[in-house]
Structure 1
């Protein structure tokens, strides 16, 4: 984490232009690529069912190291033969079981602290390390799994010991007579249930149900683990665990209040998407790469979903989401029944989260958006347009299906094209009346343009072809005179294509090549 933090802050404080052979080799083979077969954001499937998302390679290596450390801490240094006093009354094997039970229980209690910290949206380690919420979410799951392994060893070892000493009936009687042990036993059982419910297919296909059960079971687990650990003399870990959880929710409430509670949002259904426009009571301008959580007051108000955002000229914020299932599908169906498929609803806004892309210092910036990913990429392009400097080349590529979806970012694209500082390329497939690729001149008349050109004056638009991502990134890197930043936001398949293309050419450019990914794969 310290090494990652040092690299993260050096990126932001210093201007890397040259490609160093060792750094490029290390990034090409360890930090940038997916673990296997180039697939990271896109889920692995079996018989058409998504069952897992594999972390990027450096995360996998960290998890392997974490597993090794857990095994070392579990077994290293335990010597049953050294406890001669205890060995006089119990066998050496029984003493070994007792030591294993004690050690595994302590390790499980210790792991509760990072388990709750890594699940927090307001995690101070994000600022220190530069890791995003998605990365900590991966580590949260694996810390939880190892915590439950230690808890299982703890419970099984003690159960075996008590059964040998007093028999099964006496052991069962002990559990129900000793409230401290009973709480620990139930905590272990519901913790195991929580781990089973957290497997990827359940999280992905039934995310809202999973989240409700996960939080509810976590509250019960916290109470029982607290009672068990405090009773046996380990209160500090429970104090820290609960303090972190309370702090996270307190900061969430502050963020909501700062944005203004019960905001009126104007929502419109555009094709299979929803466009949300809001104007918070207090203006808190988002930076490129940041996102916010939205709560619907009339639909499971306790749930929130992340949205990337564009800031409009009038200070309002625009959020766009595909109507898939859960909250987005409910909202789309509700708005579709309103007059003109639009109306006002009450929401809560919690933000902003995430860090700004450090892309202003790069001489060439390639922004690749897929579908609703234009919100994040348009925000980044507008920021670069506002802080433009001589010699910087900015390219915005947007791949979108359906002509009606071009209206999502009309004002922002129009603003970018008007200045001429950003090279805007749009690939709009699925239109009813496709035309050949054409560069629209901002000075031309409406009669000289197609029926769609009035929306995108100054942009290069193609209604037929999808860009070949590998060729696009390769050409950009090879033609760039110095350093290059590639930023991707969109579907998981697009993100994986971009990552593979950057990895292939990270050592081949004329300068330092960097990659930033804005894809939500938390579920």
Structure 2
């Protein structure tokens, strides 16, 4: 009833939010008592209790029962229909049923909006829960019941060809979409985009669906427009904070969802960014609608709109915190654009963590008075669990593991032997902390195991930590150094490629570490599969990264190995020129590769293979199922995916594609 009465002039000139004034004003108190008496008995008690609570907080408590004030108002009052906005009210006002109804219904609508928002939050969280269940069912089917022999199911093949394998648009997935030389963004897979679009549509529907408002001037927020804006803002606030834990779940490295869905880090990263941006959109709707409401309330409270707006935004602690939160959220979204992430990843990561911590603290104090702190607690719990597991992983690998670093060309090969019992599966990776250089920084590296139990990581020199490490090692005698490291892992999926009759492994640059781990696993199993390896590197020096591993897999000549040195001409005596359907170039046997130990490995200089032709020919010649595994730069990954999509329905058996992409940013 505050809004219905606040527009009239009284001698006290109380502002509707000034309870110290209102609760000392007999005219207002008696008017309020007559108004709430029109409600149901239970609603009347709740309304009066709430009003008295505000009065007590303002140090002007009232009687516990409204009936004393009701009798005083009934004795001497003025009828609401007999006064205008210009009338100076000197007696309690008894409003007619229409005014009471509008106020009562608008308050009921407010309760409904908040309750329904909580229900919609549950539905949106259930959306992701259902997706996780479907992913788990798929994983169980693939690992237990799925057979790689025989003709693939036609429906499943079509779904994979048009939904699960391809990029959203065109062929770019790992490689960024550019504007000139500036990298703008990367596109998810088509199925990921369908999921995100579905979530986005649901969120939009729930923002505006079933938002009631009262048509008429006498509402809680003085007009229908203000009321509708406020309720949409309230709905947006609950949708924002209620989905906050999901953003944290997809932003962490450790949670059970990764285990039972089989999703990659890349998939989690895609969903983390999408959910966070949708939540930011909700927060902007919340802030925008509140700005509109606060900008139109002054005239109803006897002050200018701008004066009232400043009082609310800058004078109210909760509203000020909300404004600060929007500013911080804007900074988080801005600095997380792909261009900044990719160009200054270490700076992005440190700033991102700091901003999110500050944002969480600010929003906690913003929402706690309204009873929504449980969502913040859930998000913090997810974050704390992730950090705790990271520490446990480091300790389990050996907190003072010694590593030998060797510089080869523009890369550093790191050999470390974790504690007994630490084991990485083929294709997995670990985050490495080099304690001598910024011990708080970690970088993800694929892992390959030597026969002696040492694990090999190859770090290509870029800006930041990898540059510092490479420069330090290169300055040592023979470009060899020994340091202490922390190993956090292993992480990631290990694909079950041993079930396929033909395995095609394609690596680019340091992507050979992940690919080599699969090749070694198959070799040590004495596999009878047809295994083909294609590796592209810029210079011959890179061949020393995995020298011992190449020796091992090239024994007996069982594996078909092709190495392409794309940035150099042959510096070794040519043996012969070759021409084939995939590429043309100079093939040599490189004695410098592993000191004459595997001179039987052919090397093609200054040429790249046509990956589409390589995949097409492999699928065409295969007598059964084919597994294509790639790891390397963005263009290599996208070309392999394109070739897999084109050939997924061309094989005699199942054709599957597995990708280890360089997509941490």
Q: Pick the TM interval, shorter chain.
A: over 0.9
Structure 1: stretches of 5+ with no match in the other structure: 440-447
SS in 2 for 1:80: coil
Q: Tell whether the 8 Å contact from 1:365 to 1:395 is kept in structure 2 after alignment.
A: yes
Q: Segments of 4+ in structure 1 off by > 4 A?
A: 436-439
Q: Is the 8 A contact 2:321 2:362 kept in 1?
A: yes
Structure 2 residue 649 is matched with structure 1 residue 512: no
- Equivalent pair of 1:285/1:311 in contact (CA under 8 Å): no
1:459-513: CA deviation from partner (whole Å, max 9, x where unpaired): 3333343221111111111111111100000111111111111111110110110
Does structure 1 residue 427 correspond to structure 2 residue 427?
no
The range that moved more, 151-160 or 360-369, is 151-160
Change (3 A) 1:86 1:114: farther
Distance 1:362 1:89, change over 3 A: closer
- What is the rounded CA distance, in whole Å, between the counterparts of 1:286 and 1:89 in structure 2? 61
Matching of residue 337 in structure 1 with residue 475 in structure 2: yes
In structure 2, relative to structure 1, the CA distance for the partners of 1:467 and 1:340 (3 Å cut) is same
Match of 2:630 in 1: 488
Q: In the alignment, which residue of structure 1 is the partner of 2:137?
A: 6
- Cα offset, 1:191, TM superposition: 0.8
Distance 1:195 1:252, change over 3 A: same
Q: Counterpart of 1:412? A: 549
Task: Verify: 1:460 aligned to 2:597, yes or no.
Answer: no
Match of 2:192 among 59, 63, 69: 59
C-alpha displacement of 1:432: 4.6
Give the TM-score taking structure 2 as reference length: 0.74
Per the alignment, do residues 89 and 150 of structure 1 end up closer, same or farther by CA in structure 2, a change over 3 Å counting? closer
Q: Are residues 1:358 and 2:493 paired?
A: no
CA deviations 1:317-363 (Å, max 9, x no partner) are: 11012112111111111211111112112221101001111111111
Q: Which residue of 1 aligns with 2:404?
A: 266
Q: CA RMSD in A?
A: 2.1
- In structure 1, the residue matched to 2:219 is 87
Stretch deviating more after TM superposition (256-265 or 165-174):
165-174
Alignment deviations for residues 399-419 of structure 1 (CA, whole Å, 9 cap, x no partner): 122111111111111111225
**If you compute each CA radius of gyration, which structure gives the higher value, 1 or 2?**
2
Deviates more, 1:88-97 or 1:335-344: 88-97
Alignment of 1:363-442 (within 5 A): 363-390=501-528, 392-429=529-566, 430-434=568-572, 435-436=574-575
Instruction: Choose 171-180 or 96-105, whichever is displaced more.
Output: 171-180
Q: Is the contact made by 1:417 and 1:457 (CA closer than 8 Å) also made in structure 2? A: no
Aligned to 2:210: 77
> How far, CA to CA, are the matches of 2:543 and 2:664 in structure 1?
28
- 2:158: which partner in 1? 25
Question: Is residue 2:664 matched to residue 1:522?
Answer: yes
CA offset digits 1:273-317 (Å, max 9, x no partner): 111111123341210120000112232222211000111111111
- Does the C-alpha gap of structure 1 residues 437 and 417 become closer, same or farther in structure 2, counting only changes over 3 Å? farther
1:173 Cα deviation (Å)? 2.7
1:21-420 paired onto structure 2 within 5 Å: 21-81=154-214, 87=219, 90-166=222-298, 167-390=305-528, 392-420=529-557
Equivalent pair of 1:394/1:422 in contact (CA under 8 Å): yes
Look up the SS of the partner of 1:289 in the other structure: coil
Match of 2:121? none
Q: Deviations over 1:349-398 (max 9, x none)?
A: 101001111111111111111111111111011111222444x2111221
Which of 503, 506, 516 does residue 645 from structure 2 map onto?
Answer: 503
Structure 1: how far apart are the matches of 2:641 and 2:257? 25
Distance in 2 (alpha carbons) for counterparts of 1:26 and 1:226? 43
Q: How much has 1:242 moved relative to structure 2?
A: 0.5
2:5 corresponds to which residue? none
Q: Quote the Cα distance in structure 2 between the aligned partners of 1:256 and 1:192.
A: 34
Contact 2:174 2:637 in 1 (8 A): yes
Structure 1 window deviating more from structure 2 (310-319 vs 56-65): it is 56-65
CA contact (8 A) 1:117 1:123 kept: yes
Could you tell me how far apart the structure 2 residues matched to 1:110 and 1:456 are? 59
Give the superposition deviation at 1:94. 1.6
Number of residue-to-residue matches in the alignment: 513
**Offset of 1:88 from its aligned partner?**
6.8
Give, in whole Å, the separation in 1 of the partners of 2:479 and 2:335.
37
The CA distance in 1 between the partners of 2:220 and 2:180, in whole Å, is: 58
Distance in 2 (alpha carbons) for counterparts of 1:174 and 1:427: 67
How far off its partner does 1:50 sit? 1.7
SS at the partner of 2:263? coil
Q: For the residues of structure 1 that align with 2:219 and 2:520, how far apart are their CA atoms?
A: 73
Change in CA separation of 1:120 and 1:362 when aligned onto 2, cut-off 3 Å: same
CA distance in 2, matches of 1:86, 1:282: 74
Helix, strand or coil at the partner of 2:431? strand
Decide whether the 8 Å contact of 1:24 with 1:507 is kept in 2. Answer: yes
Deviates more, 1:359-368 or 1:125-134: 125-134
- Alpha-carbon distance, 1:16 to partner: 2.9
**2:591 aligned to 432, 448, 451, which one?**
451
Change (3 A) 1:437 1:296: farther
The answer to whether the 8 A contact 2:226-2:292 is kept is: no
**Length-normalised TM-score, structure 1:** 0.93
In 1, Cα distance between equivalents of 2:522 and 2:474: 36
CA separation in 2, counterparts of 1:89 and 1:485?
Answer: 63
Alpha carbons 1:438, 1:460 under 8 Å: kept: no
